Amino acid sequence: MSALKNKVAIVTGASSGIGFSTAKLFAREGARVVVGARRQSQLDELVEEIAAEGGEAVVLAGDVKDADYAHALVELATSHYGGLDVAFNNAGILGAPGPITEMTLAEWDETIATNLSSAFLCARYQIPAMQKRGGGSIIFTSSFVGYTAGMPGMAAYSASKAGLIGLSQSLAAEYGSAGIRVNALLPGGTDTAMSRQFASTPESLAFVQGLHAMKRIADPDEIAQSALYLASAQSSFTTGTAMLVDGGVSINRT
């Protein structure tokens, strides 16, 4: 039986990388999916691929920093598919790297707004819709950066991703009795467009791979499988967790 049969899911940051792979996997597992990101053309391509595999998805492009957009995603899930059961709030940016003494307030605010405040906005509208269904699963894409590792030049990113863990824990405690589970997913290095900003040369990629116990980085499909676990009934007693899916980067010292 499909893990998400008859479920309705929202996936943000779906135009590439982890979000793209997860939206396709959710659809293959029976979910009807609302996909969101800023890039309309990539979202259209995603929906075409989902349809070609026999799945169902609709697109709404926009900026996750916008409260009206967060609301509209939920409204689309409700009007088009009848409700909301799963939300994978995955949109995020690396932000401007560099020493904090050289970071502008605008650069700080942009990273926090995109990675953390957007999650607040999404959850604010997703939770009432899930309450109407008697429960659901909310997943935030956090990171081992800011949790098990501090990396120079990534202060805003680290703070935003650590904030998602605190948000997950608070919401899990607040809405657990309503049947809503909330978890943070913490990927290690993953082969995405964003990670290539950090590992942009063969030498830097080899360095990042070497940080992991498995001596490689993940394919986005591998992270999607963990998102599916948190979205599905397989994790029915899992809430408030910071779930590391990091190839051992958090424990590796070799």
pLDDT in tens, 237-253: 999 999 999 999 999 99
- Phi and psi based region of residue 20 (left: phi greater than 0; alpha: psi -120 to 50; beta: remaining): alpha
Task: Give domain status of residue 24, yes or no.
Answer: yes
Residue 109 CB contacts under 8 Å (≥ 6 apart), including other chains:
none
- 249 domain-assigned: no
Does residue 254 belong to any structural domain of this protein?
A: no
Q: CA dist 115 to 52, 133, 190, 217, Å?
A: 31, 27, 17, 22
Segment 207-221 mean pLDDT: 94
Residue 251 falls within a domain, yes or no?
A: no
Please give the mean pLDDT across all residues of the chain.
96
- Note the pLDDT of residue 70: 98
What are the structure tokens assigned to 105, written together? Answer: 């307030």
pLDDT at 193 over 90: no
* Res. 133 pLDDT band, cuts 50 70 90: very high
Residue of 141, 208, 134 whose CA lies nearest to 168: 141
Domain assignment present for residue 147? The answer is yes
* pLDDT tens digits along 54-99: 999 999 999 999 999 999 999 999 999 999 999 999 999 999 999 9
Band of residue 144 on the pLDDT scale cut at 50, 70, 90: very high
193: number of CA atoms within 13 Å, CB side?
10
What pLDDT does residue 197 have?
Answer: 74
User: Which amino acid belongs to residue 200?
Assistant: S
Domain that includes residue 39, residue range: 8-244
Mean pLDDT of 220-228: 98
Judge contact between 126 and 171, C-beta under 8 A. no
Q: Identify the helix (H) or strand (E) that includes residue 47.
A: helix 40-52
For residue 2, is it within any domain?
no
- What pLDDT is stored for residue 3 in this prediction? 98
Q: Which pLDDT score is estimated for 199? A: 73
- Would 198 be classed as within a structural domain? yes
Look at residue 250 and tell me if it is in a domain: no
Active site residue 157: yes
Rounded CA separation 5/14 (Å): 20
Is the CB of residue 103 less than 8 Å from the CB of residue 159?
no
Which CATH number goes with the domain that contains 162?
3.40.50.720
Q: Is the pLDDT of residue 166 over 80?
A: yes
Check whether 231 has a pLDDT greater than 80.
yes
100-111: average pLDDT: 97
Question: Is 174 in contact with 166 (CB distance < 8 Å)?
Answer: no
The active-site residue out of 69, 147, 157, 229 is: 157
Residues in the chain: 254
Mean pLDDT of the region 2-17: 97
Q: Give me the sheet containing 136-141, strands edge to edge.
A: 56-61, 32-37, 8-12, 86-89, 136-141, 180-187, 242-245
Q: What is the pLDDT of residues 20-58, one digit of tens each?
A: 999 999 999 999 999 999 999 999 999 999 999 999 999
Q: What is the mean pLDDT of residues 202-215?
A: 92
**Overall average pLDDT of the 101-113 stretch:** 97
> How many domains does the chain contain in total?
1
